[in-house]
Structure 1
Amino acid sequence: MKKIVLGLMVCLSVLSFAKDNTLTVGLCAAYPPFESRDTKSGDIVGFDVELANEIGKILNKKVVIKDAEWQALLGGLKNSHYDIILSAMSKQEAGANNVNLSDTYYLLNDVIVVKKDNQEISSKEDLKDKTVGVQLGSGSEKVVDKLEGLEKVARYNYNPEAFLDLKHERIDAVVVGYAYAVNQKNFKEEYKIVGKLAPAELVVVMKKGQDKLTKDINKALDTLKENGVYDSLVKKWLAVK
């Protein structure tokens, strides 16, 4: 019996050690250039992925990436499926009252995108009586909901569906994050940006009460900004090409 108990204690100790040395990151791999699946390898790549790995190095933790549906991310965090969310999530999307938030790691402007030959829309004022597409549950949706005079808001599970409807003129415009917009395939040939809306503060999200982890994440972000790694990631993934 003593051997069995001792064996169980050793197993529990090993599991605890493994968990302590792991940082599990939840994200939705459908938002390039922040996170998406490489079409050739199938690997999840992007700015947030590399940022998470760099944070892991500083915290001396192995980073494990878990892909999830966007709408399920906060629920997964609550149920301890991962330690943090790092998925281009804004303060508004996260809901500061229910979670811990890191310092802002990127300021992302929402923009109005229309087809390149559109001559009717040149600013947000021109969206009156128009149909605007937006992703469900996103910060962009919150921005659109504050706009007045829209004929209709078309809500999509993911942004590619909105861009497909825009391409085929089933909607008049899409509101989306700037970095996502300009990294669309053939963007310059097919679309144009006609206005910027409220910027979104992107943050790392943790369970409510995870104050030590929040402090550690903030220190890691500060270090990455000081040593130049953060700027190199921004240049690699978010610079307009």
Structure 2
Amino acid sequence: MMHKHVFRALAVAAFTCLLAGPGSATAQTTKSAGGTLVVGTAPKYPPFESKDPETGNTVGFDVDIIEAVAAKMGSKVEWQDTNFDQLLSSITTKRLDLIVGGMADTQERQASVSFLDYLRLDSIFYTLKTQASKFPSMDALCGKRVGTARRTIWPDAIAAWSEEHCVKQGKPAVVVVGTDGSPDTRLQLNQSRIDAAVQGAPTLPYQNKLEGNKYVQVGTPFLPQLMGMGFRKNDAEFGTKLKTAFNAIIADGTYKKILTKWGLEGSAVDAARINGKQ
């Protein structure tokens, strides 16, 4: 009888594991085990993350930062590509431990995930250098077609800026054009389908390096924010581990080296913050 009970218990346990499936165990248990962090990203936003055309590997500032932080935590990293608009839900459904993607830390997003803030992300308007004379000031954006990735915070941010600086001043509103992402935004700009565009200030110098100084900033940053790596909301223990590890790579100079490698020195933060709070 004793053996039957043991066998029955083992069978139930095995069946439970099968029901859990291979995907659920990975992201839910690796954090505490310290083995592997399952990290998701949308590799279409250089210099933060993109695909190396020669190797097919995901490379970029975010990749280097996550790998350095994971090393301080004694963990390895398993990268998973996904669409930008699926990153947040992948955390709430526990398919991933951590997400990065040039993502701004906003109060709206904090409703579903928590953020470890690791870079300043000032948003800017920009246009082609050949069209710069049409935009002597930011007021010239009123009535123009301005493109940006539709799944980001930027469409609403542009509309809010337009309401304050155009509509309330008796000028025509900015026409917000949603795109499929930064590459599509630049394509539409180069095809004259839009007049200007919006993206994070840190990305423009990198893109100019790739495309021969083709783009120019219009005015000053209009939306100062922090960029964060997302993890499960209210997981204070994991957040503390992330914060400690990130502060460690600041202290030993690794953070500065990675910033310099990707030309992002001007966007550095002085210390780790969780949801904007030190």
In the superposition, the TM-score normalised over structure 1's length comes to 0.88
Report the equivalent of 2:61.
47
Aligned-residue offset at 1:142: 3.5
Report the equivalent of 1:175.
198
2:215 counterpart of 1:191: yes
Contact 1:166 1:173 in 2 (8 A): yes
Contact 1:115 1:167 in 2 (8 A): yes
Q: Residues 129-208 of structure 1 correspond to what in structure 2 (within 5 A)?
A: 129-148=143-162, 149=166, 150-184=173-207, 185-188=210-213, 190-195=214-219, 196-208=221-233
SS at match of 1:91: coil
Aligned-residue offset at 1:181: 2.2
Specify every segment of 5 or more residues in structure 2 that has no aligned partner in the other structure, as ranges: 18-24, 167-172, 266-278
Give the CA RMSD over aligned residues. 2.4
Identity %: 24
Once residues 139 and 33 of structure 1 are traced to their aligned partners in structure 2, the CA distance between those partners, rounded to angstroms, is 19
Aligned-residue offset at 1:202: 0.6
Q: Which moved more, 1:40-49 or 1:91-100?
A: 91-100
Contact 2:38 2:77 in 1 (8 A): yes
Q: Residues 210-229 of structure 1 correspond to what in structure 2 (within 5 A)?
A: 210-229=235-254
Aligned-residue offset at 1:93: 7.7
Give the direction of change, closer, same or farther, for the CA distance of 1:94–1:47 in structure 2 (3 Å limit): farther
Q: Deviations over 1:152-208 (max 9, x none)?
A: 1100121111111111111110111122222223151x2211222222201121111
Identify the structure with the greater helix proportion. Answer: 2
2:123 counterpart of 1:110: yes
Q: Deviations over 1:98-153 (max 9, x none)?
A: 22222x21002212111112111133221101000011122333321212243411
In the superposition, the TM-score normalised over structure 2's length comes to 0.77
Give the direction of change, closer, same or farther, for the CA distance of 1:187–1:123 in structure 2 (3 Å limit): farther
Specify every segment of 5 or more residues in structure 1 that has no aligned partner in the other structure, as ranges: none
Contact 1:100 1:208 in 2 (8 A): yes
Contact 1:109 1:199 in 2 (8 A): yes
Aligned-residue offset at 1:3: 6.8
Once residues 232 and 105 of structure 2 are traced to their aligned partners in structure 1, the CA distance between those partners, rounded to angstroms, is 14
Contact 2:142 2:174 in 1 (8 A): yes
Q: Which moved more, 1:58-67 or 1:177-186?
A: 177-186
